[in-house]
Structure 1
């Protein structure tokens, strides 16, 4: 029996380092467009002004790539096998190793080149969290999971510690069926655990209240005083809503060498972080997502955590 094009594509995706692969028909995301527009109008993007740009491209793949017929979505596990030794300055697990943009972009390009060898002169554009693409929506449409109450894509067998990448192509493919339901049920653990109450009803996350926003996206020199005592020692990003999610009991350590933790991430003591110089920061974290916050941002975050009141914040 000759394997289908869809089967070949999924085999190649695994061959080039991706854990899961799904396919959706390229069409406008009308429902997502309405939700995104309302989210922006309510100012939930804070100072992430880039979210306001290219709205029409975000919700219509044929405008990103004329002639698009299919959207191939791939997931890549980043759940680490080791944890930080100190909990005074916590770092989101996705940032333990090298910058995922570089690693996944290389693998996605190799994957697409293999598709062209297999299927001939096809066109396509790959996206890794750096262009106006609604990756989670495409992953959900491709049957790879459902959007949880915390806004993350959740895979039924493996949880939510995944990077998502998309490949928009003019290749005509049979789409996968989306999941018939989501499996969060009545669980509200992520909502209850969010330190800043950023997770709202109906799967809405107020990005302007998220710890990841304050510690990574916010470019101002000061974090608002109203957030003092709420960060639960998160210095860069936040995994609280994922850590408490019951579906992440299925998470398994990744097998990607590029995501191997930078030794300093695991081994730095509080004193090491406090005494870190800008020169050392640039050397140690030159390939790390931490460079996105720059040295000044990391210093700001550390000082903010140190200035927080001793009493934990109570909702």
Structure 2
């Protein structure tokens, strides 16, 4: 009888958490047992050995921590995986350089993490002494692996989490806590089937077989992560992307089900999409600071964005 009662409490707590996550604006919330990611270990090791991380040296750090959430949160029991929609119907100037959709509005690191922390505070208020940490692309966590384990989606050929109902234009975040909950079942079926649209559309051939992306060949890597000059042999292959790239998502059939985000802070600055190419070429540092003061685009700094724009010519 006690076991039944304990199980009933876990189910109740899990549902309370999912209901609160929905109230906070998350479009999906799933729970997985905080355990070692055994299947991911050889994949991660191979990816690093092939130098697919390029100059992103931080990806090689904390190898064990990436695979075991119990090294991030002492006595961790559950990984709550969360998805937050950022899709927009963008009205882009056809004669313009392009900024990835996720970077149109405010920096998601702050917007989403704030909501994950709010969820943790709710759990502590409603359930009691629960220890945990909130993450939004801010720690060594294999977020797509956890999203799959939590039943949010499957990993597509472009290595992103895909959902039949929601596509892939969503941020992933995690809340790792020392509380036992009811665990969701992973989505085992790969609904990509024989489709290869993302592989075929990638201009730099960064998407490899076996759901692997050579990060060091991705347009997002070249326009954001790379600090040196972009290799000249890539001239003409960026399809006008000057910060990030959405090509593999734009061609994905599952994204026809994407709905516009309800988060006003992610809605783009109209100036970004109405600029002509000439406007971009003439952008000053003052204009850059004004338009991108709360944006992820700040990461490239003014000189980095100018480098990307100049590379297009």
Q: TM-score range by the shorter chain?
A: over 0.9
Report if the CA contact (8 A) 1:87-1:233 is conserved: no
**How far does the alpha carbon of each residue in 1:25-81 deviate from its partner, in whole angstroms, 9 at most, with x for none?**
000012111101110001000000000111111100001111000000110000013
**How far does the alpha carbon of each residue in 1:168-194 deviate from its partner, in whole angstroms, 9 at most, with x for none?**
000101110011311000000000000
Alignment map for 1:99-114 (pairs within 5 Å):
99-114=107-122
Please, which runs of 5 or more residues in structure 1 have no aligned partner? 307-315
How far apart are the structure 1 equivalents of 2:28 and 2:245? Answer: 24
CA RMSD of aligned residues (A): 1.2
Query: For residue 100 of structure 2, what is the aligned residue in structure 1?
Result: 92
How far apart are the structure 2 equivalents of 1:280 and 1:184? Answer: 42
How far apart are the structure 2 equivalents of 1:80 and 1:14? Answer: 19
How far apart are the structure 2 equivalents of 1:161 and 1:83? Answer: 17
Query: For residue 211 of structure 2, what is the aligned residue in structure 1?
Result: 203
Q: Bigger CA drift: 119-128 or 261-270? A: 261-270
Query: For residue 194 of structure 1, what is the aligned residue in structure 2?
Result: 202
Query: Runs in 1 of length 4+ with deviation above 6 angstroms?
Result: none
1:169 corresponds, among 177, 193, 200, to 177
How far apart are the structure 1 equivalents of 2:210 and 2:91? Answer: 32
The CA deviation at 1:283 is 1.9
How far apart are the structure 2 equivalents of 1:116 and 1:236? Answer: 39
The CA deviation at 1:217 is 0.4
1:271 corresponds, among 274, 278, 286, to 278
What's the TM-score once normalised by structure 2's chain length? 0.95
SS of 1:129's equivalent in the other structure is: coil
How far apart are the structure 1 equivalents of 2:304 and 2:285? Answer: 11
1:8 corresponds, among 1, 12, 16, to 16
Please, which runs of 5 or more residues in structure 2 have no aligned partner? 1-7
The CA deviation at 1:86 is 3.6
1:257 corresponds, among 256, 264, 267, to 264
- Aligned residue pairs total 305
Report if the CA contact (8 A) 2:96-2:275 is conserved: no
Report if the CA contact (8 A) 2:37-2:68 is conserved: yes
What's the TM-score once normalised by structure 1's chain length? 0.95
The CA deviation at 1:85 is 1.8
2:292 corresponds, among 282, 285, 296, to 285
1:38 corresponds, among 41, 46, 57, to 46
How far apart are the structure 2 equivalents of 1:82 and 1:218? Answer: 27
Report if the CA contact (8 A) 2:96-2:240 is conserved: yes
Query: For residue 131 of structure 1, what is the aligned residue in structure 2?
Result: 139
SS of 1:126's equivalent in the other structure is: strand
2:59 corresponds, among 34, 51, 56, to 51
Report if the CA contact (8 A) 1:13-1:21 is conserved: yes
SS of 1:30's equivalent in the other structure is: coil
The CA deviation at 1:83 is 2.9
Alignment map for 1:131-150 (pairs within 5 Å):
131-150=139-158
Report if the CA contact (8 A) 2:96-2:273 is conserved: no
Query: For residue 159 of structure 1, what is the aligned residue in structure 2?
Result: 167
The CA deviation at 1:157 is 0.5
User: Are 2:232 and 1:225 aligned?
Assistant: yes
User: Are 2:308 and 1:301 aligned?
Assistant: yes
